[in-house]
Chain A
Amino acid sequence: MSDINRQIIACNIADMLEDGMFVNLGVGIPTLISNYISYGKTVLLHGENGCIGQDKVLDNDKLLYDRKEITEWLASHGGKDSDWRRGHRDLNNAGDSFITMIPGASCFDSAMSFAMARGGRLDATVLGGLQIDKYGNLANWMVPGKMINGMGGAMDLVCGAKKVIVAMEHCSKSGAPKIVEECSLPLTAVACVDVVVTELCVMEHKDNKYLVKSISPNTSPDEILSKTEATVVFDTEVKTMRIPPA
């Protein structure tokens, strides 16, 4: 997926998150969202691996692919000079990036992490998708015969969150619609999707339809209709999506 599409999706989801909300960010595009949350707004970000209060994602993923560099980084980030403010070798998010945290953050074990998810504490959970359908079903964890990812925490997270936001490109790499009549891939959960944000539009799922709330200035209603298999309707007043500076 092109980087600009990912950034468009991430910044428009960041704009939906309100001050004081408690939100889980999944792996992939959702991990980009924290960089777009505007100053003065406190959104408590949940990492399924056991933390609340992620601040910045440290841009050191490339370290991972150099054995010497990652070893040196780990060795130098476990002592007294390392902490939640500056980054630590024992502090990651669910996407496995090193992170910093905000004052007031907390860490806990995996049972508590998912108890708060299933228990209905999350105001929203944001996760990637391979397919969604008119029933609000979500498929995002495997393509039979090709890819086994495992569901990770996705099934648990969508189960209790007050709002499920799917962040994905509008069509697959081959150009096939990902918003379909009925999912053909193994489901993550049934009737769970509330909102989907793609590089083309923001849509709410309701009554077996997708209601377009805003569209990108780079597209048209016709393009959205042609690239969406499930029924699409347009809100009476369709807003314009924000495009982040390149």
Chain B
Amino acid sequence: MNKIINLKEAVDLIHSGDTVMVGGFTYFGCPLHLLYELADREVDNLTIISEDLGYGGLPYLQGAGVLINNGQVKEAQVSFIGYYPEITEAVKDERLKLTLIPQGTLAERIRAGGSGLGGFYTPVGVGTVVEEGKEIKIINNKKYLLEYPLRADVALIKCKTADHLGNAAFKYTAENFNPLMAMAADLVILETEELVENGAIEPDSVDLPGVFVDKIVLCKDVVI
């Protein structure tokens, strides 16, 4: 079993029309090598699911927003775009369909999608625009909204250390959405800063078991 491929081979696996989950909280834990390679390709009509879209107004640290600026994205499902005035413009011009999702609900919908669950009831968003069109259920005298699972064709995720089986260890707050997204996509591509021999990560220090990872790309250098 060989999961290790290079950056170009990895991005060859992403196709127009795919739904793509992108890990990270702004550029922390964000697979920027994979994103920037994808931004150089003739791949479009993508649906992006991500916490945010990176920074706007800078020619770097753009995160998944770089794909939107390129016109490669038809739809984005995210929780926060506060750093990105260009995205607001794309929404106004109807170049982009934007769905905003409360961050904890987004995490849990992805977790549900990866866990074989049909959805869950949450009190988050009751009495706000988030509840529009959703089933409301009273449980123990409290209102809850039905939220459905999210899945994707591809997840692009990033870790600090991985072994050859795809067992991954994340560093500090660069974990965020990465392990959740790895559970919820048909094809999972892991960008790692370090590649170590199997056994070099203590079994109880593995944050994401390698069974969730299909392809591994080693990207040692820092890009922004």
Contacts and interface: CB of A to CB of B under 8 A. Distances in A.
A interacts with B: yes
Interface of A: 27, 47-51, 64-65, 67, 70-71, 74-75, 78, 84, 88-93, 96, 107-111, 113-115, 117-118, 137, 147-157, 159, 186-190
B29 A90 contact: yes
B207 to A, nearest CB: 8
21 contacts: A50-B25, A51-B172, A71-B224, A89-B222, A90-B29, A92-B25, A92-B26, A109-B207, A114-B104, A115-B104, A118-B104, A148-B88, A148-B98, A149-B80, A150-B52, A151-B103, A153-B102, A155-B128, A156-B103, A187-B128, A189-B128
B175 A48 contact: no
Interface string B159-171: 0100000000011
Nearest to B91: A148
A234 to B, nearest CB: 30
Given A78-B222, A155-B102, A148 B81 contact: yes
Interface of B: 25-26, 28-29, 51-52, 55, 58-61, 78-83, 87-88, 91, 98, 100, 102-105, 107-108, 110-111, 122-130, 160, 170-180, 193, 207, 222, 224
A110 B107 contact: yes
With most chain A CB atoms within 10 A of its CB, the pick from B29, B82, B87, B193 is B82
A152 B103 contact: yes
Nearest to A70: B224
A74 B224 contact: yes
Contacts, number: 154
A182 B61 CA distance: 39
Given A51-B172, A90-B29, A155-B130, A109 B179 contact: yes
B127 to A, nearest CB: 4
A88 B171 contact: yes
Contacts of B129: 186-187
Given A71-B224, A118-B123, A149-B81, A110 B51 contact: yes
A114 B28 contact: no
A140 B82 CA distance: 12
B35 to A, nearest CB: 16
Nearest to A106: B172
A91 to B, nearest CB: 4
B130 A84 contact: no
Which 3 pairs, one residue from A and one from B, show the smallest C-beta to C-beta distance? A114-B104, A156-B104, A190-B127
B124 A118 contact: yes
A90 B26 CA distance: 11
Contacts of B108: 111, 114-115
Given A50-B173, A50-B176, A153 B104 contact: yes
Contacts of A96: 25-26, 28, 83
A185 B41 CA distance: 40
Contact of A150 (B55, B58, B82, B173): B82
A152 B178 contact: no
B33 to A, nearest CB: 14
A71 B175 CA distance: 21
Contacts of A65: 58
Given A110-B180, A151-B100, 9 more contacts: A49-B176, A64-B58, A109-B176, A110-B177, A113-B107, A148-B88, A150-B82, A156-B104, A189-B126
Given A110-B180, A151-B79, A186-B129, A92 B173 contact: yes
With most chain B CB atoms within 10 A of its CB, the pick from A27, A107, A117 is A107
B102 A156 contact: yes
A89 B103 CA distance: 23
